[in-house]
Structure 1
């Protein structure tokens, strides 16, 4: 992936500093900088940069410096749509943000669905708005970064084989992030049902890691039995449903979308979640016959902070639940705002006039 020339993410800059970089447009309380889908899409950023940004957000949350309240959800009785609202504060950047997400057509094919998500950032020092942006790419990059960090912290020592299930956006981005976090991975397996998606995964891998090869599998069970790490990113109509009995001792299964049977959670030796509360909201499809979910042994921010263990023994079968935390969207959105405004991107809108 093309590298960037903008400053690295090690020391987040105050939001107020970003606004001063828009030519001829000083920060005020009446204008909002809008970063469109095209603005955000044109920003080059490496997987390593994204990983560092997301990890810092988790560590700041674990230190008690950030706030990540439980998300609000509304859904009609027939389940044809779902909407979320998430509010949070990043303590290392002094930024408050609101993220909204709306998906329509859950009862239809992926091509017939509508999805909109936006992130609005405010500087909590000056009290001024920073930017409003399409959050699609932010979420698309944040999620595989979290999966890669989960793999780094929770995979058994010496993990060499990974199976990715699904060829949508998350399936396409999974391997570059996994290889960045776990360069020792050698066998890269992919299960998918869409030829175009499989080719897209192959193309993306070739762009980021041209020396690595992809193994497309058709026998999900055999691939799962051989994998040290299984990352399930598929859509809800996938025929894949990896069972706990297929997993080898020490295997790590990471749930992002679909592709794992509930037994991988209920029969796991250890359960790690990005958030217990979020898992209760968005993990209901993994509930047992009584509608229950097993207790979470560790939350991932504490794992990264070293106050909880991702695994306690090499032979444990670990289940990791990857649900989005808005503090990671805030951190990565702020990083994109930093890069975008440094390049003069964005449109100033007199929203409050």
Structure 2
């Protein structure tokens, strides 16, 4: 894929005060962007946030009592790109199988210099890239020295690019394992790996305990119905466990030697399924932005078992969404809607 990372962060985008440019799923699917560009964009968003230039308030959550759906709203500002955006996310059918669920997410971006709208876009591809990029950055900063083996749990949207992104930041990984329960998902993971790293092979594992015991890095991306639940005493010394969705038992968090979170506040909102018998979560040793900035240690020793919580921050969606908007507008993609007239 082409490397487009040389485009300036603040490259201007078009807009006026009457129209809103809509970027559809199809528009965004046709944009060529390298994994390295995605990683660099996401890392830049974290560094800008740590520098105090961006704002990332706590997300708002709405969930009915029976738990059949969940909705999120996230507002933020990227200080290096000087844009403001709001992301919304709605998932229905949490009590049903994957094929019966409905999921919608969108991102609306405004230029905070001109005051004009930039674009409104489907945020599914943004999320499918941003999240594994964050996991890859967590792995780069927190994996034990000489890490060679990775295990991905889950074959859904977040699992399919987990290994290509891990190889982008940890190219010395030489054993790539996958635990999944959906044949079509396993095929999709294999296809994505071969698209980005055609020389690498995927090992499908069925004995999760044995695979976890061999893994230096575990990325758990499975859905809520997964049978997977890696326990702390399965892990080797020095193991890094990254939780994105499901697949790790609460013991991996509560018995970890060090806990890193992209946001402790968000972990306390969205990580309640990892609480102990008293409904409590342990304190976070460090959030991730200061780790990336070199202010806080991601790892203090090669033997530490580290738990990392990847909840995603809206500033990373904003940065990557703005990057996509730059590329889309340069190619003339999207539909302008006369929304305010």
Q: CA deviation at 1:203?
A: 1.0
Q: Deviations over 1:19-50 (max 9, x none)?
A: 1xxxxxxx321111110111011111111000
Q: Deviations over 1:235-279 (max 9, x none)?
A: 111111000000011000000000000000000000000001000
Name the SS of the counterpart of 1:172 in structure 2. Answer: coil
Q: RMSD of aligned C-alpha atoms?
A: 0.8
Q: Deviations over 1:173-224 (max 9, x none)?
A: 1000000000010100000111111111111111110111011000000000
1:23 corresponding residue in structure 2: none
1:226 corresponding residue in structure 2: 214
Distance 1:48 1:110 in 2: 30
In the alignment, does 2:302 pair up with 1:314?
yes
1:170 corresponding residue in structure 2: 158
Distance 1:196 1:102 in 2: 24
Q: Deviations over 1:41-64 (max 9, x none)?
A: 111111100000000000000000
**Which 5+ residue runs of structure 2 have no aligned equivalent?**
none
1:287 corresponding residue in structure 2: 275
8 Å CA contact 2:47, 2:293 repeated in 1: yes
Distance 2:6 2:147 in 1: 29
Q: CA deviation at 1:8?
A: 2.4
Q: Which of 3, 10, 16 is 1:13 aligned to?
A: 10
2:106 corresponding residue in structure 1: 118
Q: How does 1:120-269 map to 2 (within 5 A)?
A: 120-269=108-257
8 Å CA contact 2:71, 2:89 repeated in 1: yes
2:2 corresponding residue in structure 1: 3
Report how many aligned residue pairs link the two structures.
Answer: 341
Distance 1:144 1:321 in 2: 12
Distance 1:196 1:83 in 2: 27
TM-score by length of 1: 0.95
Q: CA deviation at 1:7?
A: 5.7
Q: How does 1:21-32 map to 2 (within 5 A)?
A: 27-32=15-20
The 4+ residue runs of structure 1 with deviation greater than 2 A are 6-9
TM-score by length of 2: 0.99
**Which 5+ residue runs of structure 1 have no aligned equivalent?**
20-26
